[in-house]
């Protein structure tokens, strides 16, 4: 009696869920049988039968704690002999509402590839999932000889919304610390505690620049950057504009504000109008001097540069977010002999302003300009709080440098562990 | 009442909108339950910015029409600006020359406004891009003139700056490799290409990070002043 057994040895799946079944014949006694099955049995180049890797023993899926709800962690237990495989393929299938099933089971969507991980790993985090949806997951081991059978989760998993994203805890604590310092010193200033702020030459020069424009009978040009109102630098620029326009109103100098965003134009108009009103020169306010040019970066630069060359303003202010146009504007202003004051938090543009302008507000100076110019105790207090936060940051940096240096000198001591602990606390 | 209403509309309402929107955006970064609120605030900003564009276009038209009517110097350029603006607006809104979308062939105006073959796309590709590239190209000359002025050896700091720039510049060219390639291996750190890397990775990175930390603290403090209503000067007055 001739007996033979066909064993399902490999199921390979593509991303759409289509499957290709491989068969192996383990006890072929009739040559005819083997001939009939040659196309289905995986064989190597010598004609020998080869086997696909074994499937994972089990798989589980669980919600990732303290995240935004869009991540699920998949873990699986590989079977012995999986080491011959090269990678795991992780797939998911969404659980659909009744009657919407388009996949392999009723109420289940098609299997889609999520990720591929090296064979040595036994878990994967699937992110960017809809927190409202449930998913089945399955893994397949893949080797050059074929793919293993799939191992599917027994129940659907769902990402849950969490109250707080724990990965952002260090950042949250840092913000709380800085805020606490700032608020403490605002309250201290309100109680009458004297606050001393160092002199910022660029801000002291504003009156000189406006006065020069008045004496020369020329206009003042103020460019509040090329970004919209959702950029904090634009807001900071407008706070300086309020002060510059008030000085211009008091000195009876004309101010021109070209903007590259409509919303900035409206905000700038409000700021300048309020300044003219505060200076008692409401009649001198000209809304058309604050105008929208274009959103296009170099179109805006072309207009402002041309205007500078034609009108030759005596003072140019560049306060806001700038990119490649910073040097074009500053060099054009330099070529017409204008006194130039710039301020930006774009660190890549600071060298250009420093090279081409008379005064430059570097980063935090620019952010502090509004408080400095106002002279109000509340705002000066906030600068003091900012300084304390900076001192704390400096201390942490020094500790980090000492630990890193110590860890490099003595890799076996306590320093590396302390350094790792600090990195963990800081979230890096 | 007559004096109070403008103050409420011009000061209090914008201030409270900024405070509420600011706190929502801040919280949405940490608390997932407020994430959708943060997205909504972002969408509201986009809608307001889109509406404000009408004001911007109005300002552009008003200023240029006034220049034309007064026959100011260069009024012809104002006329060209307005004509170009009108043409671009019409061909963009009307999707003139836009091929029908293959995805929605039965729907009118379903093609992309800047699709290949459209007039808007043609204006963008053959007018706007070359003009903006020309402006961008000017940067090379401005960099040269700014560098010439910045690197004049006026004092000790300027001499240090000039020397550092010289090393970095040479280290990034073949000349740097040729000039100091003869140095033995034990002094390879002094080769210009290695010195250049060292300066950029150590001195430049350290200075840059110091500035970035200052900026981050400044942004936090400024945001806090606005969120707490301490700084109201962005509305034009601290009153």
- Ranges for all domains in chain A classified under CATH 3.40.50: 195-375
- A8 — phi, psi (to 5°)? -75, 110
The answer to whether B32 contacts A330, with C-beta atoms less than 8 Å apart, is no
* pLDDT at residue number B152: 83
pLDDT at A101: 54
For A220-240, how does the pLDDT look when each residue is reduced to its tens digit (9 = 90+)? 999 999 999 999 999 999 989
Three-state secondary structure string covering chain A:
CCCCCEEEEEEEECCCCCEEEEEEECCCCCHHHHHHHCCCCCECCCCCECCCCCCCCEEEEEECCCCCCCCEEEEEECCCCHHHCCEEEEEEEEECCCCCCCCCCCCECCCEEEEEEECCCCEEEECCCCCCCEEEEEEEEEECCEECCCEECCCCEECCCCCCCHHHHHHHHHHHHHHHHHHHHHHHHHCCCCCCCCCCHHHHHHHHHHHHHHHHCCCEEEECCCCCCCCHHHHHHHHHHHHHHHHHHHHCCCEEEEECCHHHHHHHHHHHHHHHHHCCCHHHCCHHHEEECCCCHHHHHHHHHHHHHHHCCCEEEEECCCCCHHHHHHHHHHHCCCEEEEEECCCCCHHHHHHHCCEEEECHHHHHHHHHHHCCHHHHHHHHHHHHHHHHHHHHHHHHHHHHHHHHHCCCCCHHHHHHHHHHHHCC
If you average pLDDT over residues A13-22, what whole number do you get? Answer: 44
pLDDT of residue A21 exceeding 70:
no
pLDDT tops 80 at residue A77 = yes
Quick one: average pLDDT of A310-315? 96
Confidence (pLDDT) at A13: 45
Residue A254, Cβ density class (10 Å: 0-12 exposed, 13-18 middle, ≥19 buried): middle
Angle ∠(A417,A422,A424) on CA atoms, nearest 5? 95
Structure-block tokens of residue A335: 């070529």
The tens digit of pLDDT for each residue in A103-124 reads 555 578 889 998 999 998 999 9
The mean pLDDT of A148-174, rounded to a whole number, is: 87
Instruction: Check if A206 contacts B (Cβ < 8 Å).
Output: no
Q: Is the pLDDT of residue A265 over 60?
A: yes
Mean pLDDT of A62-90: 85
Among all chains, which residue has been given the structure tokens 């060099």?
A331
d(CA A43, CA A25): 11
User: Residue A273: its chain B contacts at CB < 8 A?
Assistant: 236
Question: Token digits for A72?
Answer: 């699920």
CATH of domain A6-158: 2.60.40.10
CB contact under 8 A, B231 and A370: yes
- How much of chain B, in percent, has pLDDT values that exceed 90? 58
Of the candidates A183, A189, A181, which has an alpha carbon nearest to the alpha carbon of residue A380?
A189
Q: What is the mean pLDDT of residues A373-382?
A: 88
- Asked if A346 contacts A323 with a C-beta cutoff of 8 angstroms, the reply is yes
**Pairwise CB contact (< 8 Å): B59 & A242:** no
- 3-class secondary structure for chain B? CCCHHHHHHHHHHHHHHHHHHHHHHHHHCCCHHHHHHHHHHHHHHHHHHHHHHHHHHHHHHHHHHHHHHHCCCCHHHHHHHHHHHHHHHHHHHCCCCCCCCCCCCCCCCCCCCCCCCCHHHHHHHHHHHHHHHHHHHCHHHHHHHHHHHHCCCCCHHHHHHHHHHHHHHHHCCHHHHHHHCCCCHHHHHHCHHHHHHHHHHHHHHHHHHHHHHHHHHHHHHHHHHHHCCCCCHHHCCCC
CB under 8 Å, gap of 24 or more: what pairs does B113-121 form? B118/B91, B119/B91, B120/B88, B120/B91, B120/B92, B120/B95, B120/B96
Greatest alpha-carbon pair distance for chain B in Å reads 85
Contact partners, residue B9, CB within 8 Å, separation at least 6: none
Q: What are the chain A neighbours of B26 within 8 Å (beta carbons)?
A: 175
Angstrom CA distances, B144 to A323, B148, B153, stand at 18, 6, 16
CATH topology of domain A195-375: Rossmann fold (3.40.50)
Q: Can you tell me the ipTM of this complex? A: 0.89
Higher-pLDDT residue of A129 and B43 is B43
Shortest CB distance from A364 goes to which of B66, B150, B217?
A: B217
**Start-to-end Cα distance in chain A:** 69
pLDDT tier at A33, thresholds 50, 70, 90:
very low
Which chain A residue is nearest to residue B134, measuring alpha carbons? Answer: A298
Task: Give pLDDT, residue A10.
Answer: 47
Give the mean pLDDT of chain B.
89
> Which pLDDT score is estimated for B108?
76
Looking at residue A64, its pLDDT comes to 84
Higher-confidence residue of B103 and A194: namely A194
Between B217, B230, B237, which is nearest A378 by CB? B230
**Site from B11, B26, B32 to mutate, A interface, most A CB atoms within 10 angstroms:** B32
Residue B122 structure tokens: 């043609």
A296 touching chain B per CB within 8 A: yes
Per CB-CB distance under 8 Å, the chain A contacts of B233 are 238-239, 242-243, 271, 370, 373-374
Looking at per-residue confidence, does A243 or B100 come out higher?
Answer: A243
A236 touches chain B (CB under 8 A): yes
Asked if residue B19 has pLDDT above 50, the reply is: yes
How much is the pTM?
Answer: 0.79
Residue A12 has pLDDT above 80, yes or no: no
Is pLDDT above 60 for A17? no
Please judge whether B49 and A261 are an interchain contact, meaning their C-beta atoms are less than 8 angstroms apart: yes
Q: Which position has the higher pLDDT, B14 or A223?
A: A223
Poorest-confidence range of A72-86, A195-209, A317-331, B208-222? A72-86
Are the CB atoms for A112 and A59 separated by under 8 Å?
Answer: no
* pLDDT confidence tier of residue A165, bands split at 50, 70 and 90: confident
- Whole-number mean pLDDT of chain A? 85
Q: State the pLDDT confidence band at B32, using cuts at 50, 70 and 90.
A: confident
State the smallest CA–CA distance between residue A90 and chain B in angstroms.
Answer: 27
User: Does the pLDDT at position A143 exceed 70?
Assistant: yes
Of A274, A291, A379, which has the smallest distance from its Cβ to B63's Cβ? A291
| Separation of alpha carbons A214 and A256, rounded Å | 14
The answer to whether residue B41 scores a pLDDT higher than 90 is: yes
**Which positions in chain B touch A267 (Cβ < 8 Å)?**
234
pLDDT interval class at A166 (50, 70, 90):
confident
Answer yes or no: do A347 and B138 touch at CB < 8 A: no
Residue of A nearest to B232 (CA): A239
Write out pLDDT tens, residues B166-194.
999 999 999 989 999 999 999 999 999 99
Is A383 close to B239, i.e. CB distance below 8 A? no
Which residues have C-beta within 8 Å of that of residue B26, sequence separation ≥ 6?
A175, B223, B227
Q: Is the pLDDT of residue A32 over 90?
A: no
Q: Answer whether residue A396 shows pLDDT above 80.
A: yes
pLDDT reported for residue A405: 94
Residues spanned by CATH 2.60.40.10 within chain A? 6-158
């Amino acid at each position: 009696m001739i007996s033979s057994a066909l064993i399902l040895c490999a199921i390979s799946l593509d991303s759409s869920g289509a499957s290709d079944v491989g068969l192996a014949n383990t006890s072929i006694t009739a040559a005819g049988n083997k001939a009939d099955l040659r196309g289905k049995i995986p064989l190597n180049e010598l004609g020998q039968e080869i086997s696909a890797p074994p499937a994972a023993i089990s798989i589980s899926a669980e919600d990732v704690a303290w995240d935004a709800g869009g991540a699920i962690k998949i873990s699986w237990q590989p079977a012995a002999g999986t080491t011959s495989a090269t990678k795991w393929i992780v797939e998911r299938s969404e659980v659909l509402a009744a009657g919407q099933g388009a996949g392999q089971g009723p109420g289940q969507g098609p299997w889609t590839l999520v990720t591929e991980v090296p064979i040595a790993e036994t878990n994967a985090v699937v992110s960017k999932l809809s927190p409202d949806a449930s998913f089945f997951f399955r893994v397949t081991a893949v080797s050059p000889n074929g793919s293993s059978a799939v191992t599917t989760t027994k129940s659907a998993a769902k990402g849950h919304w969490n109250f707080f994203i724990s990965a952002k805890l260090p950042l949250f604590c840092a913000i709380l610390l800085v805020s606490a310092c700032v608020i403490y010193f605002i309250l201290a200033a309100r109680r009458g505690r004297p606050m001393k702020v160092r002199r910022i030459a660029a801000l002291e020069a504003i009156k000189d620049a406006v006065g020069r424009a008045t004496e020369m009978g020329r206009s003042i040009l103020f460019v509040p950057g090329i970004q919209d109102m959702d950029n904090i630098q634009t807001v900071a620029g407008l706070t300086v504009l309020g002060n510059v326009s008030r000085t211009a109103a008091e000195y009876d100098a004309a101010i021109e504000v070209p903007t590259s965003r409509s919303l900035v134009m409206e905000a700038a108009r409000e700021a300048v109008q309020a300044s003219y009103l505060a200076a008692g020169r409401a009649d001198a306010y000209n809304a058309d001097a604050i105008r929208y040019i274009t959103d296009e970066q170099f179109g805006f630069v072309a207009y402002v540069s041309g205007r500078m060359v034609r009108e030759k303003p005596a003072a140019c202010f560049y306060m806001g977010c700038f990119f490649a146009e910073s040097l074009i504007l500053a060099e054009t202003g330099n070529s017409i002999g204008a006194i130039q004051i710039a301020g930006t938090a774009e660190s890549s543009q600071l060298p250009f302003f420093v090279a081409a302008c008379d005064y430059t507000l570097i980063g935090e100076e620019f952010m502090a300009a509004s408080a400095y110019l106002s002279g109000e105790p509340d705002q000066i207090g906030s600068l003091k709080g900012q300084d304390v936060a900076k001192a704390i940051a400096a201390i942490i940096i020094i500790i980090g440098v000492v630990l890193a240096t110590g860890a490099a000198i003595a890799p076996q001591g306590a320093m590396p562990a302390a350094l790792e602990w600090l990195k963990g606390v800081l979230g890096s | 009442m007559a004096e109070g209403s403008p103050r409420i509309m011009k000061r209090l309402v914008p201030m409270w909108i900024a405070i509420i929107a600011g706190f929502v955006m801040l919280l949405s970064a940490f608390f997932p339950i407020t994430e959708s609120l943060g997205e909504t605030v972002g969408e509201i900003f986009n809608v307001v910015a889109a509406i404000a564009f009408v004001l911007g276009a109005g300002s552009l038209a008003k200023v240029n029409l006034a220049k034309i009517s007064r026959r100011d110097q260069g009024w012809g350029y104002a006329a060209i600006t307005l004509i170009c603006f009108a043409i671009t607006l019409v061909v963009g809104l009307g999707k003139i020359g836009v091929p029908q979308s293959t995805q929605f062939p039965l729907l009118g105006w379903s093609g992309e406004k800047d699709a290949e073959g459209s007039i808007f796309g043609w204006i963008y590709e053959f007018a706007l891009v070359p003009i903006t590239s020309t402006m961008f190209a000017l940067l090379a000359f401005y960099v040269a003139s700014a560098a010439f002025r910045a690197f004049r050896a006026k004092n000790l700091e300027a001499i240090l700056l000039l020397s550092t720039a010289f090393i970095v510049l040479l280290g990034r060219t073949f000349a740097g490799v040729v000039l100091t390639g003869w140095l033995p291996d034990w002094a390879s750190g002094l080769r210009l290409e290695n010195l250049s890397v060292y300066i950029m990775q150590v001195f430049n990175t350290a200075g840059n990070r110091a500035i970035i930390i200052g900026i981050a603290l400044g942004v936090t403090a400024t945001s806090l002043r606005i969120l707490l209503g301490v700084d109201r000067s962005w509305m034009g007055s601290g009153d």
